[in-house]
Amino acid sequence: MFKIIILLLTFSQIHASYFDDDGSFQIEWFAHNSEAVRERISDKVDLYDDEFFLNWFNSRNTSSETVKLLLGSKFEEVTSSDTCEKNALDCYIITTFGYQKSLRMFYLVERYGYNPSHFYKNRDFKAEYDEFTLEEMNDIVVAFSFYERSVLPSFRQNFIRVVNFEAGDSLANARIHLYKKWRELESEDRVAVIVHELGHSSGYGRSSTGRSHQNTIEWQRIYNSGCNISRYSMANKYEGFAEAASMYKLHPEVLKAVCPAKYYFMKDVFKGK
């Protein structure tokens, strides 16, 4: 069972830890720095364009299971229409979500095992799930590209969804539900929030001891050592893990300089990637 861990935005914009002019590390609410993230993801933004997804799309065969996942509760309705030729699986998705967005949705399901469709059947919010915009889908793909599928949990029916839901200053939770306020962020900050939430997901992976990474004795020891990278990381060892994972992915040189033990722990978790 996932722990529902809420990511908060407590200021009007993201406040990130930083090195001051004297070279001292100043702890703020979040570990990620927006400007540095923007620079870090620039090559990925350029890479994941329409040509990339078209080449990938043309190199694989559409799975009927993928179509069922993406159409969710609308599967019978969509596939019973005469819009597409019988068994033209790609067509059902493309006519429902649009061509560009569909390619990215196929990619996310088949490359990482996460379903971004708002038609997903199970519901755990009274509020409606919204459809991601193309720009948001681009941000999601960029965020996922920091992780190998092997380090993410293989739970059945993983998802990432945006919810028409507002809970104070909450941005998202670890399941991954993205709230209204997430949509108001700049692209680089939306990416960073997802990288953080995927850090939670990677924490469920099994270590050589048989325990999940975030519940090992070694991680507890490192967390208790008091080397903090953000105020948010002080909440508990799970937030500490997610913040360290996101800093390892987004600002590895900073994590190594500030908290070497956390850096090398994450390097082991992610096998140097």
Instruction: Give Cβ neighbours of residue 253 (< 8 Å, ≥ 6 apart).
Output: none
pLDDT tens digits along 187-210: 999 999 999 999 999 999 988 888
Q: Tell me, what's the pLDDT at 197?
A: 93
- Residue 24 CA to residue 12 CA, distance in Å, equals 25
pLDDT tens digits along 123-154: 666 677 899 999 999 999 999 999 999 999 87
Buried-exposed string 119-141: b where 16+ CB fall within 10 A, e elsewhere? bbeeeeeeeebbbbeeebbbbbb
| Among the ranges given (86-100, 153-167, 183-197, 224-238), the one the predictor scored with the smallest mean pLDDT | 153-167
The answer on pLDDT for 22 being more than 80 is no
Instruction: Provide the whole-model pTM.
Output: 0.88
Q: Tell me, what's the pLDDT at 177?
A: 87
The answer on pLDDT for 251 being more than 80 is yes
| Among the ranges given (88-102, 109-123, 237-251), the one the predictor scored with the smallest mean pLDDT | 109-123
Q: What are the backbone angles phi and psi of residue 55, rounded to the nearest 5°?
A: -60, -45
Residue 161's SS3 state is strand
Q: Tell me, what's the pLDDT at 213?
A: 95
